[in-house]
Amino acid sequence: MKLFTTILATTTLLISANTMAHPQVKLEATDQSPATQICMAVASNKPINLLKVLKDNQMTMKTAVKKVRCNELTLGDFAQKHSAIKIANNLKRYEQKTELYSAL
Residue 24 in domain: no
How many independent structural domains does the chain possess? Answer: 1
Residue 10 in domain: no
Query: What pLDDT sits at residue 98?
Result: 60
Residue 7 in domain: no
Query: What pLDDT sits at residue 31?
Result: 85
Residue 13 in domain: no
- The residues, any chain, with a CB within 8 Å of residue 83's CB and separated by 6 or more, are 45
Residue 91 in domain: yes
Residue 17 in domain: no
pTM of the model: 0.68
- Is 10:18 a contact under the CB 8 Å cutoff? no
Q: What is the residue range of 82's domain?
A: 34-103
Residue 29 in domain: no
- C-alpha dihedral, 49 to 54 to 58 to 62, nearest 10°: -150
- What are 5-56's pLDDT values in tens digits? 555 455 555 565 444 444 566 777 778 899 999 999 999 999 999 999 999 9
Residue 16 in domain: no
